Amino acid sequence: MGRLAGKVAVVFGGARGIGLATVKEFLAEGATVYAADIREPAEEIGGYRHSTVDATDEAAVAAFVDGVLAEAGRVDVLFNNVGVHLAKPLADTTVAEFDHIFALNVRAAFLGTRAVLPHMIEQRAGSIITTSSNGGVMGRPGDPVYNATKHALVGLMKSVAVAHAHQGVRANTVNPGAIDTELLRGTLASPDDFETKQHQLVASTPAARVGEAWEVAKAVVFLASDESKFINGVVLPIDGAKAAGAMPGNRYSLDFDLGVGVVP
């Protein structure tokens, strides 16, 4: 029997990257999965329901969750995984860009959480997991407004945890670092740059490699499962120790040997 057998899971942002990897892991662990995204899935994997939903649209999110409840009768797990990146200095960021990234990265998680929360409180059980970033636990000079959204998600989930733990609701964040996804590759000038710029991507990562989407998805499964029933309000970096602290000065180098510590 799978670790999520009998559970109904909702995934917002399930069409690509970490979201799609998590859909696969949820299915493998026996969950009934309903995924939503503004895009179609990158792969045809079957076995779950995918809907086209704008996660920033209040009515659309409410209607989607209501539809899941009408069909499945419950929601046990919510994975908020909607987000975009913005690599701009603060002084160069427009108000429109600020509003856009907060709408996608924070409003979407707020709407998804608000939609499932009354039901989870009523059934006195539920796990909400939200994708933040290691930028949600530390400052980074290149993307301050993006980091502000990721800090906001940490605060939102911690507050939900404190407010509703006594009602059986859990709320945690996963905080990835550099993960090989379409989102990461989209920050580069071209797809080919991923191979040529790996040194730059991992120069500040103690593990000396980029992570994989399935590695984040496995952590989400754990937080969704009953194995983590007493874990609530946790911020979980999945970043090869980058958020843990500073490395020796000679490690912050673009000529660092990637062969050291790399997992095949």
Six token digits for residue 36: 């939503």
Active site residue 252: no
Six token digits for residue 221: 């499964």
Instruction: Give me the sheet containing 77-80, strands edge to edge.
Output: 49-52, 32-37, 8-12, 77-80, 126-131, 169-176, 235-238
Cα–Cα distance between 86 and 80 in angstroms, integer?
19
Cα–Cα distance between 126 and 160 in angstroms, integer?
12
Six token digits for residue 49: 């329901």
Write down the catalytic residue from 34, 48, 146, 252: 146
Nearest CA to 8 out of 34, 44, 46 is that of 34
Active site residues: 146
